[in-house]
């Protein structure tokens, strides 16, 4: 079976829809998951979409992506600004990884300007609201295609 795209979401993203909607919009994480599944399907991918509020669970999921996924799209949320362990996990996986954010952290508080994730991924997409997820899928699709055909069965 083809490997899925892993789409991982960090802390507080379960609250989307009611959490600071002026910044993050009104789409819930379920709405975003449905849009991702549809867009990924159109490009020939399945998705494994998860959210956790726990750093170690997020790191376990990154490691699992390294074993099971074709590519990883991650919204690390607050852990992007704090977690060296998440940086290390991302450095350790052999698949393309893309960082996404709904908002534009560079235009927000100074403590959001640094990401430990950015230096461990292929690229970052931020500031496009829920559409950042769709653009992340497009980027993952392009990176998978660019990495060429896998070995034949
Ligand atoms: C976020 C931006 C982070 O700074 C913040 O901690 C989040 C959400 C975003 O998607 O815009 O929780 O990752």
Ligand 1: does its nearest atom lie under 6 Å from the Cβ of 136? no
Convert the pLDDT of each residue in 62-114 to its tens digit: 999 999 999 999 999 999 999 999 999 999 999 999 999 999 999 999 999 99
The pLDDT assigned to 153 comes to 46
The 8-class DSSP code of residue 120 comes to G
The pLDDT assigned to 117 comes to 98
The pLDDT assigned to 1 comes to 66
Per the annotation, binding residues for substrate are 75, 81, 88, 102-103, 112
Our mutation pick for probing the ligand 1 site, out of 25, 103, 114, 133, counting the most ligand atoms within 8 A of Cβ, is 103
Residue nearest (by alpha carbon) to ligand 1 atom 1: 77
- Cβ neighbours of residue 7 closer than 8 Å, sequence gap 6 or more: 33, 36, 47, 48, 49, 50, 72, 73, 74, 133, 136, 137
Residue nearest (by alpha carbon) to ligand 1 atom 3: 77
Cα 28-33-38 angle, rounded to 5 deg: 130
pTM tops 0.85: yes
Surface-to-core class of residue 152, CB atoms within 10 Å of its CB (0-12 exposed, 13-18 middle, 19+ buried):
exposed
pLDDT band of 14, cuts 50, 70, 90: very high
Convert the pLDDT of each residue in 123-153 to its tens digit: 999 999 999 999 999 999 999 999 865 554 4
Per the annotation, binding residues are 75, 81, 88, 102-103, 112
R_g of the chain, CA atoms, integer Å: 15
Taking the CA of residue 75 as reference, the ligand 1 atom at the shortest distance is 13
Note whether 73 and 136 are within 8 A (CB): yes
Note whether 97 and 75 are within 8 A (CB): no
Please name which of 116, 114, 66 lies closest in space to residue 88, comparing C-alpha atoms.
116
Q: In 10 A of CB 109, how many CB atoms?
A: 8
The pLDDT assigned to 147 comes to 87
- Higher-confidence position of 147 and 36: 36
HSE of 78, CA atoms in CB hemisphere, 13 A: 8
The 8-class DSSP code of residue 138 comes to H
Rounded Cα distance, 129 and 92, in Å: 28
Superfamily of domain 5-146: Dehydroquinase, class II (3.40.50.9100)
């Amino acid at each position: 079976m083809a490997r899925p795209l892993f789409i991982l979401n960090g802390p507080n993203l379960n609250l989307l829809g009611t959490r600071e909607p002026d910044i993050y919009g009104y789409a819930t994480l379920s709405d975003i998951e449905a849009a991702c599944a549809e867009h990924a399907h159109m490009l020939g991918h399945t998705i494994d979409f998860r959210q956790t509020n726990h750093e170690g669970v997020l790191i376990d999921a990154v490691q699992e992506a390294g074993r099971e996924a074709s590519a990883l799209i991650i919204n690390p949320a607050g852990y992007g600004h704090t977690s060296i362990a998440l940086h290390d996990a991302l450095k350790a996986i052999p698949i393309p990884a893309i960082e996404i954010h709904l908002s534009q952290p560079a235009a927000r508080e100074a403590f959001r300007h640094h990401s430990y994730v950015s230096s461990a991924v292929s690229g970052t997409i931020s500031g496009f609201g829920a559409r950042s997820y769709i653009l992340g899928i497009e980027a993952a699709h392009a990176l998978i295609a660019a990495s060429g055909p896998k070995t034949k069965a």
